C-alpha cells in the first residue's frame, strides 16, 4: 500500500508540473510570435549599424507609432523582390519636409523642416552618399526612409515616381530593437523553463509508474518453527 501511495503522489506531481510547463511554454511561444519578429538582413544598406547577414529582432507595432530615427522593418514587394527582410531608418513622417543636402561646416547634412539632422549612425559620416538631391514633403500616413550606408542603400531616394519615394505606414511590420531586448530575453527564459518543467514532469511520471509496479519484497520464513498460540 505504501508503494501505491508514493506512486499516486508522484503521479499527481508529474501531472501538475508537466501541465504547468506545457502551459508556460505554449503561452511564451504564442505571445512571442505575436509580439516579436526575427530576420536576417540580406545587404549592407544599414551598415555600419547592422551588417549584411546580421540577425535582427523587431517588436511588432502599428506604423503610426514609429518616430523619426527609428529603424523599421517593412514590406514593399513592388520595390524589393528579394524576399528578405527590408529595414531602413525613418527620416521623415507625415508633414515633414526632407531635403538633401545642406552644407554645415565641411559636412553635408540632410534637413528636416530646414533643420540639419545629426546622424552619427551614417556610414563614413556621408549623409548624401550618391549625390542625388531631393526635396520631399512627406504625405500624411507615409514615411521617408533611408539606409545608414547612404552610398549603398536602395531607399526612398530611388522611388521618387511612387509617392516621392515614401512608404505607407501600413507597410511597417515593426521597429527594430536596439540595445534593450528585455522582452525577448524574458520570453526565451519562460520558454526554456517551460520545457524544463515538461521534462521534469515526464521524469516524475516514469518514477510514479516504476514505484507502482514494484512488488513488495517477500517476507522471509522464521528460522525456527513457530508454535500456534495456546499449543
Convert the pLDDT of each residue in 12-56 to its tens digit. 877 787 787 778 778 767 766 767 899 999 889 999 999 999 999
- pLDDT surpassing 80 at residue 220: no
Output 56 or 192, whichever has higher pLDDT: 56
Convert the pLDDT of each residue in 135-161 to its tens digit. 999 999 999 999 999 999 999 999 999
Q: Where are the domains of the chain?
A: 2-33+184-213, 36-181
- Where residue 85 falls among pLDDT bands split at 50, 70, 90? confident
Torsion, CA 64, CA 67, CA 69, CA 70, rounded to 10 = -50
Give the range with max mean pLDDT: 144-158, 177-191, 198-212: 144-158
Task: Supply the mean pLDDT for the chain.
Answer: 84
Strand locations in 30-127, DSSP E? 36-40, 55-60, 71-74, 86-92, 97-104, 107-112, 115-116
Percentage of residues of the chain with pLDDT beyond 70 = 81
| Closest to 71 measured CA to CA, from 140, 149, 185 | 149
- pLDDT surpassing 80 at residue 123: yes
| Closest to 29 measured CA to CA, from 147, 174, 195 | 195
Pairing of the two strands 36-40 and 142-146: unpaired
Class of the CATH-defined domain 36-181: mainly beta
Signed CA dihedral, 73, 182, 69, 50: sign only = negative
Per-residue confidence (pLDDT) for residue 183, from 0 to 100: 65
H helices, E strands: number in the chain: 2, 11
- pLDDT surpassing 80 at residue 77: yes
Give the DSSP H/E element, type plus range, for residue 135: strand 134-137
- Alpha carbon distance 195, 209 (integer Å): 21
Amino acid at each position: 500500500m505504501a508503494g501505491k501511495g508514493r506512486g499516486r503522489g508522484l503521479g499527481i506531481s508529474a501531472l501538475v508540473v508537466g501541465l504547468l510547463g506545457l502551459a508556460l511554454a505554449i503561452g511564451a511561444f504564442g505571445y512571442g510570435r505575436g509580439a516579436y519578429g526575427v530576420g536576417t538582413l540580406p545587404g549592407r544598406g544599414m551598415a555600419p549599424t547592422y551588417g549584411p547577414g546580421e540577425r535582427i529582432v523587431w517588436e511588432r507595432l502599428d506604423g503610426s507609432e514609429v518616430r523619426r530615427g527609428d529603424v523599421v522593418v517593412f514590406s514593399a514587394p513592388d520595390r524589393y523582390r528579394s524576399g528578405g527582410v527590408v529595414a531602413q531608418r525613418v527620416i521623415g513622417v507625415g508633414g515633414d519636409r526632407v531635403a538633401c543636402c545642406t552644407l554645415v561646416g565641411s559636412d553635408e547634412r540632410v534637413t528636416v523642416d530646414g533643420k540639419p539632422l545629426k546622424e552619427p549612425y551614417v556610414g563614413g559620416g556621408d549623409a548624401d552618399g550618391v549625390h542625388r538631391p531631393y526635396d520631399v514633403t512627406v504625405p500624411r500616413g507615409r514615411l521617408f526612409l533611408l539606409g545608414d550606408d547612404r552610398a549603398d542603400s536602395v531607399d526612398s531616394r530611388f522611388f521618387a515616381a511612387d509617392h516621392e519615394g515614401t512608404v505607407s505606414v501600413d507597410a511597417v511590420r515593426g521597429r527594430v530593437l536596439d540595445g534593450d531586448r528585455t522582452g525577448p530575453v524574458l520570453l526565451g527564459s519562460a520558454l526554456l523553463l517551460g520545457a524544463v518543467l515538461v521534462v521534469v514532469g515526464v521524469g516524475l511520471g516514469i518514477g510514479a509508474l516504476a514505484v507502482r509496479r514494484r512488488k513488495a519484497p517477500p517476507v522471509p520464513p522464521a528460522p525456527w518453527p513457530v508454535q500456534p498460540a495456546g499449543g
